[in-house]
Homo-oligomer: A and B are copies of this chain.
Amino acid sequence: MPRLLYGGDYNPEQWPEQVCAEDAELMRRARVNLATVGVFAWSKLEPAPGRYEFGWLDGVLDRLAGNGISAALATPTASPPPWFGLAHPEALPVTADGVRLSHGSRDTYCASAPAYREAALRIAAALAGRYRGHPALAMWHVHNEYSSACHCELAAEAFRGWLRARHGDLDRLNEAWSTAVWGQLYTDWAQILPPRATRYLPNPAQVLDFRRFTSDELLAAYTAQRDVLRAATPGVPVTTNFVLGGWVPVDHARWAREVDLVAIDHYPADPGAGAEEEAAFAADLARGWARHGTGRPGWLLMETAPNLIYAADRMHTKEPGRMARQGLAAVARGSLGVLFFQWRAPRGGAELFHSALVPHAGPDSRVYREAVALGEQLDRIAGTAEGAVRARVAVAYDEPSAWALQAPGLPSRRLDHLDEARHAHRALWRRGIVADVIGTLGALDAYAMIVLPGHYLMSDAQAEALRSWVAAGGHLVATFLSGVADEHGRVRTGGYPGALRDLLGVRVEEFHPLGPDDRAALTTGAAGELWSETVHLAGAEAVVCYAGGVLDGRPAVTRHAVGDGVAWYCSTRLSADDHGRLLGAVAASAGVGPELEGVPRGVEAVRRHAGDRSWLFLLNHTGTGHDVPAAGIDLLGGDVVAGVVRLAVGGAAVIRER
């Protein structure tokens, strides 16, 4: 029988025995079925080099198993013990400024250091050896939120090796990096360094390659552990939790091919209604990675905060019921379950007020009671675990493009590929159109429509893939800056957006970035923000033009019929609603509509499908009740729904459709 995973990070090593005994009882009451254990336990498992203390973990896993709870057992390699850095100072990371970091926090290691790699494999192998066959072991959770770069000499040497493999010889590297600019031609591999503190602006191609290198270096650290674990426990899935954000030097689309299950951590920043849009984006991105990586659309929400949203200046306590509704929303979009960080709030440490299912106040609390209710709900909709979300629209989000747009020296400091991708996704979400967010431009046949939101980097192969897909009937919407640079971040000359010029049928001569308060009026009465351009038609037709200013009368949005498909170009940033109208119209012409017609704004409607069966998730994020058209059985309430379901304020329904 299918089930949805439910639980979260569990740190019994922080607590005395009686608390752990209570935990087991509380987990059972909440129907928790998966606990992530050992993420930060290295110093307790191996208090001195080579001296292992597994007894306490034996007890933890035995108790979990005894209570019918599975374990996602972590390798604790994200946080080496204090002894590690003292024994291997060369394995501590160095910043771009040359500061060698000290232990005392977490993530303090250099992934290129042999001593670190070896120590990590030893503890992983020791765990695999001890717990292979343990009844609680259901999943391997390797490391935690891989994201740490290092600029030391060991990293430099590894970087050079990676560059040799990527570029082959120095001439090609010099060409790719444009080192003739500012006279930094390399004539010996030994001259190449990570981007360390230098006098003025760094070389953006070097920075971009260093991020790619870091991603691959961390991936190698992951796969080495994965292979040890797979060899020891062939049937147990191995994964690691992806952390999102433009600062993370990890290309998750590549990583998705190396995990048995795409798992993400999700912490929204907007305490308002935007949190639901952020969560939907993250879910659809995880699903996109999974679809192109593991080949299956299922993914797992590995961490999210139960009851708090971490805004910039403070923690926002979620309104009653929001935690559960957000959990259901993740399942709606294909998550295999709902896992929280964390089970029990810690007394101390750097995140001592981080949210938990058992808060500081203890189980006599709203949060724990909501956790119990959510556990019951997830049981009722366990059957949905079989279903998969189907999307015929894709939004492309390319992490290297996001990195490249972080460089100084670009025409505007406010360019952010992640923002643009979220903006396009938001426009679709508000219209109820389900989209995958994809990290690769291969295997596009499943989609009738693709949005490229400022997809700055584009290789020839990517451009060709898009061209073929459009010619075969695809509907493409590219926004400004897409295709402007090649995979090394070099501008393609002759008119923007070089790689897509022919496909889009336009030639952009000049950029006109807009200031925070500037608006570019359009012939539709709408207004663009952030960006505008001098667009020349070169095959395309103008659908919307600029009105007034130096661009008066020039094309703003264009349409180009190519083969059986159409390629649209949007040279400015439309408001979410205006962008939604444009994308909705293109989707309609591509034969794609919203998941459900007649859904009020703020009510999320998504289906999971399994063969000819389907489950319709309806989530009312608004402050008023709504009637929504549906038919079937509401698994949450148990009612038969015949045509219309009533959603209370903040309410949800999961309808096994007829």
Chain A residues engaging chain B, CB cutoff 8 angstroms: 11, 13-14, 40-44, 47-48, 76, 79-83, 86, 93, 95, 97-108, 148, 177-188, 190-193, 195-206, 307, 311, 313-317, 319-320, 345-354, 359-362, 365-367, 407-414, 488-496, 507-516, 534, 550
Contact of A97 among B99, B348, B516 (CB under 8 A): B99
Closest to A347 in B: B490
Q: Is the CB of A106 within 8 A of B319?
A: no
CB of A444, distance to nearest CB on chain B (Å): 28
Contacts of A366 in B (CB 8 A): 509-510, 534
Using A104-B202, A313-B414 as known contacts, list a sample of 10 further A-B pairs with CB atoms less than 8 Å apart, ordered by residue number in A. A11-B181, A43-B187, A79-B182, A83-B187, A178-B347, A201-B350, A314-B514, A348-B489, A360-B493, A361-B510
| Minimum Cβ distance to chain B for residue A206 (Å) | 6
20 intermolecular pairs with C-beta atoms under 8 Å apart: A13-B180, A43-B179, A43-B185, A79-B182, A81-B185, A82-B185, A102-B196, A103-B193, A105-B198, A203-B349, A204-B350, A315-B513, A317-B550, A348-B490, A350-B409, A351-B409, A352-B491, A359-B510, A360-B495, A361-B494
Contacts of A190 in B (CB 8 A): 86
Do B81 and A183 touch across chains, with their CB atoms under 8 A apart?
Answer: yes
Contact A42 B183 (CB under 8 A): yes
CA A168 to CA B407, docked complex, whole Å: 48
| A315 (CB) vs chain B CBs: closest residue | B411
Which of the residues B348, B408, B411 comes within 8 Å of A314, measured between beta carbons? Answer: B411
A148 CA to B200 CA in the complex, in Å? 10
Contact at A99–B191, with CB atoms within 8 Å? no
Quote the shortest CB–CB distance from A217 to chain B (angstroms): 16
The dominant DSSP class at the A interface is: loop
Q: How many angstroms from the CA of A511 to the CA of B407 in the assembled complex?
A: 39
Interface centre among A494, A513, A516 (most CB of B within 10 A): A513
CB A93 to nearest CB in B, in angstroms, measures 7
- Distance from A525 Cβ to chain B, minimum over Cβ atoms (Å): 25
A362 touches B494 (CB 8 A): yes
Contact call A182/B106, Cβ cutoff below 8 A: yes
Tell me which residues across on chain B come within 8 A of A44, comparing CB atoms: 180, 183, 185
A361-B40 contact, Cβ under 8 Å, with A206-B104, A348-B177: no
Q: Given the known A-B contacts A106-B200, A360-B495, A510-B317, are A79 and B14 also in contact in the complex, defined by CB atoms under 8 Å?
A: no
Is B512's CB under 8 angstroms from A317's CB? yes
Instruction: Report how far A367 CA is from B509 CA in the complex, Å.
Output: 10
Looking across the interface, which residue of chain B has its beta carbon closest to that of A317?
A: B512
Expressed in whole angstroms, the minimum distance between the Cβ of A545 and any Cβ of chain B is: 18
A348 near B204: Cβ-Cβ < 8 Å: yes
Known contacts A82-B184, A82-B187, A181-B11; is A105 also within 8 Å of B201 by CB? Answer: yes
**This chain's copy number in the assembly:** 3
Give min CB distance, A126 to chain B, whole Å: 15
Are B198 and A413 in contact, with the CB atoms below 8 A? Answer: no
Would A350 and B203 count as touching, CB distance under 8 A? Answer: yes
Nearest-CB residue, chain B, relative to A179:
B43
Do B198 and A104 touch across chains, with their CB atoms under 8 A apart? yes
A412 engages B313 (CB within 8 Å): yes
User: Cβ of A81: which chain B residues have Cβ within 8 Å of it?
Assistant: 183-185, 187
Which 6 A/B pairs are nearest by Cβ-Cβ distance? A178-B348, A181-B349, A201-B350, A40-B183, A82-B191, A314-B412
B43, B48, B177, B182: the one contacting A105 at CB < 8 Å is B182
Question: Do the beta carbons of B348 and A205 come within 8 Å of each other?
Answer: yes
B199 touches A515 (CB 8 A): no
Across-interface contacts of A105 in B (CB, < 8 A): 182, 184, 198-203
Indicate if the CB atoms of B352 and A199 lie closer than 8 Å: no
Contact B314 A101 (CB under 8 A): no
Chain B, Cβ-Cβ closest to A344: B493
For A177, list chain B residues within 8 Å (CB). 348
What is the minimal beta-carbon distance from A17 to any residue of chain B, in angstroms? 14
B350 touches A108 (CB 8 A): no
Contact: A313 with B187, CB < 8 Å?
no
Report Cα–Cα, A488/B347, bound state, in Å.
10
| Contact B197–A511 (Cβ < 8 Å) | no
Complex contacts, A365 vs chain B, CB 8 Å: 509-510
Cβ-neighbour of A183 out of B41, B86, B199, B412 (below 8 A) = B41
Point out the residues of chain B lying under 8 angstroms from A509, CB to CB.
359, 361, 365-366
Complex CA–CA separation, A454 to B124 (angstroms)? 45
- Is the pair B350, A199 in contact by a Cβ cutoff of 8 Å? no
- Let me know if A313 and B516 touch, CB within 8 A: yes
A187 to B, closest residue via Cβ: B47
Contact check, B412 vs A315: say whether CB atoms are below 8 A apart.
yes
Which residue of chain B is the closest to A109 with respect to CB atoms?
A: B199
Q: A105-B203, A202-B104, A496-B360 are in contact. Are A351 and B185 (CB under 8 A)?
A: no
